[in-house]
């Protein structure tokens, strides 16, 4: 299933969309509308520890956003199960990420981390 299809199937995503960058692999394996807006089930895996980090690299909700109703909506911790954590090389972290988009159509999912690695579906 192509990555461009992902935002169109709001109630549940069959298949997944993923992208590998220098340090991380990012995958979205589900998407759904809720009473509060939109959620994506995401997984982030650390491929390679970036320079400037010893062993642990933090991951959080801050790189995630969606385009909805002409606005960029950042992820919210309320209702998300994708908690902030630290990864070592080869580790992955997954969970549901919530966006308060109630009443707005989601057109794109964005991931941009502090290393400049950028993905959008």
Per-residue pLDDT tens over the stretch 1-21: 334 434 443 333 445 688 889
Q: List the domain boundaries for the chain.
A: 3-111
DSSP E strand boundaries for 23-105: 24-34, 37-46, 57-59, 64-68, 71-74, 85-87, 92-99
Of the two residues 16 and 108, the one the predictor is more confident about is: 108
CA distance linking residue 117 with residue 39, whole number of Å: 22
Digit-coded pLDDT (tens) for 38-63: 999 999 999 999 998 888 999 999 99
Asked if 97 contacts 39 with a C-beta cutoff of 8 angstroms, the reply is yes
pTM for the predicted model, two decimal places: 0.84
Please tell us whether the domain made up of 3-111 is placed in CATH 2.60.40.4170.
Answer: yes
């Amino acid at each position: 299933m192509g990555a461009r299809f992902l935002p169109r199937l709001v109630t549940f995503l069959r298949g997944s969309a993923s992208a590998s960058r220098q340090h991380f692999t990012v995958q979205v394996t589900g998407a759904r509308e809720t009473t509060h807006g939109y959620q994506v089930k995401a997984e982030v895996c650390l491929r390679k520890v970036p320079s400037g980090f010893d062993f642990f690299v933090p991951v959080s909700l801050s790189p995630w956003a969606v385009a909805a109703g002409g606005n960029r909506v950042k992820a919210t911790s309320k209702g998300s199960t994708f908690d902030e954590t630290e990864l070592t090389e080869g580790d992955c972290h997954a969970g549901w990420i919530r966006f308060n988009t109630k009443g707005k159509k989601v057109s794109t999912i964005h991931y941009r981390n502090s290393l400049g690695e950028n993905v959008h579906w």
